[in-house]
Chain A
Amino acid sequence: MDHRSDLELIQEFKNGNNNAFNLLVLRYQEKVYWVVRRLLPDHDEADDVVQDVFVKVYRSLNSFKGESSFYTWLYRIAMNLSLNEIRRKKTRRTFSLDDGVMQHESSEPLPLERMEREEQTRLIKAAIERLPEKQKKVFVLRYYEELPYEEISKILKTSVGGLKANYFHAVKKIGEFVRHGM
């Protein structure tokens, strides 16, 4: 476990220590993966974006001025690249409810409880995927990352009041989607 702060590692990287970048990746790879994965349910797509996020960080780290915390900056990059990928996907194909849902390939029937859980998961994924971009970002950062509104406000550069309204609408829409089972 390395006790150096993010800023210390960034400074070392700027001084030519490439290993400092590796430590930043190891420190944040899981957080970045899960933020991206919530926005892009398909693992392979998420994996591709996660790598791009860190490539972008590597190329931009020298210009990082520390005006925000490193992870705020990192989350912003992750959010933006994920949404770029979503937009790119939208132009490539029409939406399908089966996108990103793991298929059960075994010939064995699933137990009832597990089937219900799979169905629930499918609905949640579909509901989140259909949220407007802004609500989707707020929802992922608040619900899954459990970040306080003040932190989300820094990442998304939006007022706390606006975030709360977005979160309310996001949660409500997911509820409507799940209730109607579509």
Chain B
Amino acid sequence: MECDTYRTLLVEKQEGTISSDNKEILERHLLTCDRCAEDFALIGASFDALRGARDEEAPTHYFTNLLPRIRRRIENQPRTFAGLAMPVWAQRFLAPGSALAVLGCIVGLYILLLPSFDPSKMGLREIVAEVPREDIDRVTESVLYSNVLTRTMEPSQRMLETLPNPAIVSQHIERELVDDQLKHGHSLSVFLAGDSPYEDIADEDIDSIIMKLNQTSL
């Protein structure tokens, strides 16, 4: 064995935790190795000194008073935030403030990342929600809308002319009107009549709405 492998045994022998087999091996080695014998003496001197040193004592009543002092420190010690101390009053607002900040970030990101208004990526419901009510009314009263309801599906410039500001929004409404009519038949009129989901409205109600809208457009 190399001397390095005896290190642990030297300590164990001085601690009195060495096994009898290892003790025998170590003692044979110590007879032939001056370096390990010197280390063994040093370790012995160390343990003697440690045993001879005065036992430290904690001040009287220290442990009796420690808990209240810790509690006080918890109350008074400012939390640090990025290495800066925070006053106690600020700590009280830390949790709700953090929650609001996170919420604000989420909303901010949503606003930043949301396309300003890209009707091509939106459904009819969302488009209608974005458009002023009076514009919706104009669309529903237009001849084009009437045409859609009667399934002519004819794109028309006339609808655009009915809007005070013929923006791209109205074009998409027109397209959606047509698409929706193609896909769902009467669902469009139901949608425009209110906020109820298509499925919740009875067929006779749908018919009456269509009739009403047709009358309005006429």
Contact = CB atoms under 8 A, between A and B. Distances in A.
Q: Which of B43, B46, B63, B73 has the most CB of A within 10 A?
A: B46
Contacts of A120: 49, 52-54
Contact of B49 (A55, A118, A175): A175
Interface in B35-72: 39, 41-47, 49-50, 52-54, 56, 58-59, 62-63, 66-67, 69-71
B40 to A, nearest CB: 10
Contacts of B44: 175
Contacts of A41: 56
A86 interface: no
B15 to A, nearest CB: 9
Contact residues on B (Cβ < 8 Å of other chain), bracket: 20 to 34
B43 A171 contact: yes
Contact of B47 (A22, A33, A171): A171
Interface string B85-112: 0000000000000000000000000000
Interface residues of A, number: 36
A175 B8 contact: no
A137 interface: no
Contacts of A51: 66, 69-70, 73
Interface in B193-210: none
A50 B66 contact: yes
A14 interface: no
A124 B70 contact: no
B70 A54 contact: yes
B66 A123 contact: no
A121 interface: yes
A107 B86 CA distance: 48
A92 interface: no
A118 B54 contact: yes
A26 B41 CA distance: 41
A178 interface: yes
Count chain A CB atoms within 10 A of each CB in B39, B53, B67 and give the residue with the most: B53
A37 B45 contact: no
A22 B66 CA distance: 11
Given A51-B66, A172-B46, 18 more contacts: A26-B67, A29-B63, A33-B66, A34-B56, A55-B74, A55-B77, A117-B52, A120-B49, A121-B54, A123-B49, A124-B53, A164-B7, A165-B7, A172-B43, A174-B46, A174-B49, A179-B42, A179-B45
Interface of A: 22, 25-26, 29-30, 33-34, 37, 41, 43, 47, 50-52, 54-55, 58-59, 117-118, 120-121, 123-124, 143, 164-165, 167-168, 171-172, 174-176, 178-179
